[in-house]
Amino acid sequence: MDNTTLKTIRQHIIESEGQPPYPYLDIKGNLTIGTGFHIETEKEFLSLPLINEQTEKPATEADKRAEFAKMQKLSEDLAKEPEKLNRRADTYENNTTLRMPKAEQDKLLDQEIATRVSQIKKDVGRDAWDKLSDGKKAAVVDVHYANGSLKDFTDFKQAIEDGDAEAMAREGTFYTDKENGKRDMRRLARNRAAVGLSN
């Protein structure tokens, strides 16, 4: 994948997911940082390249352990009141001094994009992927990123193989919060624009 394509996809994902440099809980209570990176274990959290804003130096292992424990406790507490989980990431900005530099976030995101592009090529075929414009590629990766795969998007995959922008926009719609029937209409509008359709 060339740098121009990667840059287009990266920017599209950042616009959809945001890029908070600090640890936060998503609407399901998952410990998250940056562009939607879920952190499941303390070991994963300890491996993150974080900076302590107060010292302006790399976060120590003790800093990271304390932050992980705090966020785990908060997640457990909020699980008892799930209605409070529907909050913006910036709610957590002042609760921590730990930050991940943008360059490190972009590096992680680029690795994630490469992994997902490889999976998408297996789903729709390399030829179908290569024929897509960079905008269409960005929209396809966004659908994959938001849903974890394309396994529930049979008609969307067919639209990709056909290069059909109208069908891609229609079949690539998804729920941000399926249980509550919520969709991120701005995200879907960005994807529609990316495949070359006006709103």
Angle at 108 between CA 102 and CA 112, to 5 degrees: 135
The mean per-residue pLDDT over the stretch 150-160 comes to 95
In this prediction the pTM is 0.88
Residue 83 confidence (pLDDT) above 80:
no
Residue 142 confidence (pLDDT) above 90:
yes
pLDDT grade, residue 185 (50/70/90)? confident
Picking from 58-62, 72-76, 81-85, 103-107, which range would have the lowest pLDDT averaged per residue? 81-85
3-state SS assignment for residue 38: strand
- What confidence tens digit (pLDDT) does each residue in 91-132 have? 889 889 999 999 999 999 999 999 999 999 999 999 999 999
Q: What is the mean pLDDT of the chain?
A: 91
Residue 198 confidence (pLDDT) above 90:
no
